[in-house]
Chain A
Amino acid sequence: AQTVTQSQPEMSVQEAETVTLSCTYDTSESDYYLFWYKQPPSRQMILVIRQEAYKQQNATENRFSVNFQKAAKSFSLKISDSQLGDAAMYFCAYRSDGGATNKLIFGTGTLLAVQP
């Protein structure tokens, strides 16, 4: 069964600095999607960025980028120029592409604090 591991329960970053959140996953599949979701204090789940496993190029969305290492099964999120509004819980998630087992599998989350 697929698993997603976030080994950093909490992280802290200074405003305007860069922070990297780690995520590793375990799967035997070759086609899948990876996601980072942000959950601010409002608890709304917001999709930050997605990566298709077949794409070698790392996804970027403005200040957010990923380092996708398929062989190492690693999917880290880099937040550049951190802002106070980035403070939130961040969840890494995995979903296989098609097939019977197709549910989104979440990690346990990393709580990011942004210091002014």
Chain B
Amino acid sequence: SQTIHQWPATLVQPVGSPLSLECTVEGTSNPNLYWYRQAAGRGLQLLFYSVGIGQISSEVPQNLSASRPQDRQFILSSKKLLLSDSGFYLCAWSVRWRGGYTFGSGTRLTVV
């Protein structure tokens, strides 16, 4: 069966520090991968999605970047965190072009 792993679960980082959140999927090949952010416990904002290795689409301009170095690995990064980067980050995967998404357990990021 397919599983999705996301870590860390909680992260407190100072302003200006780098960020790396990792997401991996097991039990499937060629998944679509997604990064979402949820602020204030409401509404999900799609940040990035990827349909293949090295293929990244950005939905909104921001201080973050994403990479997909392997088929089932998706990384969210920042070189210098801002206070406004605080939030709850969710990774998700889907079968290409159809069906629902399966979400990871999320990372709660607090920038101080």
Contact = CB atoms under 8 A, between A and B. Distances in A.
Interface of A: 33, 35, 42-47, 50, 89, 91, 93, 95, 97-99, 102-104, 106, 108-109
Contacts of B34: 103-104
A103 B43 contact: no
A42 B90 CA distance: 12
Contacts of A33: 98-100
Given A43-B88, A44-B105, A104-B94, A95 B42 contact: no
Contacts, number: 53
B41 A89 contact: yes
Interface of B: 32, 34, 38, 41-44, 46, 49, 88, 90, 92, 94, 97-103, 105-106, 108
Tell me whether chain A's interface is mostly helix, strand or loop, or mixed. Answer: loop
Contacts of A95: 98-100
The 3 closest A-B pairs by CB, nearest first: A45-B103, A98-B97, A106-B44
B88 to A, nearest CB: 6
